[in-house]
A = this chain, B = another copy of it.
Amino acid sequence: MTSSTPRPTAPAAGAGRRDAEATKAAIVRAARHLLARHAHADITLKAVAERAGVSAPLVLKYFGNKDALFARIMSFEADAAAVLDAPLEDLGRHMVQHLLTSQAEEGADPLLRIVFAPLHREHGYVLRANFRTQVVRRLGERLTGPDAGLRAELAVGMLLGLGVMYGIARGPHLRATAIAEITDRYAPAVQACLTPG
């Protein structure tokens, strides 16, 4: 152990915490996968556990119950924080780059689960409300000038479309192009919504 270790835990406890974080992440990924393919009501904790390669009691241990797990995956708080984590003048580039990196490296898109809202009936309203509040409004509040709300919606729309084309339609040209090049081409249009003129 070096003095740069932030918390003085024993190595075994550190490893245990990392395992727990990895397991939680696997459960969240499994739940998101199912949420993109099945109505909320049809998804069981058992199916989530099976897909994550863990036991159903372990899912309960980490998340309490199905509602709590789904509240977590229907929230965009953490993803919005990462998507919007850049100064306004460079935000267009950051948003595009972050989305493409998440898709290419983790096979996950930070925002794309909004497109499955129609699947989930009343839970779709929660997903939409979270998306508007946690992503779009939060972005809009950072913009200056007229029509900030509309410009935030247009910028996020551009980002969502890139995610659909890359992750769902799987455009072969996009997938064969370096992230830096796609960013160079696409980010200026997003940035023009954020800081026009």
Q: Given contacts A150-B174, A153-B174, A160-B165, is CB(A37)–CB(B136) below 8 Å?
A: no
Q: How many chain A residues have a CB neighbour from B under 8 Å?
A: 45
A189 at interface (Cβ–Cβ under 8 A)? yes
- Which of B37, B132, B164, B193 interacts with A160 by CB under 8 Å? B164
Report how many copies the assembly holds: 2
Tell me the A78-105 residues at the B interface (CB within 8 Å).
Answer: none
| Contact digits for A137-169, partner B, Cβ 8 Å, 1 yes 0 no | 000000000010110111011111111111011
A177 at interface (Cβ–Cβ under 8 A)? yes
Q: Given contacts A171-B157, A189-B158, is CB(A118)–CB(B164) below 8 Å?
A: no
| A interface, CB within 8 angstroms of B | 36-39, 114-119, 128, 131-132, 136, 147, 149-150, 152-154, 156-166, 168-174, 177, 182, 185-186, 189, 192-193
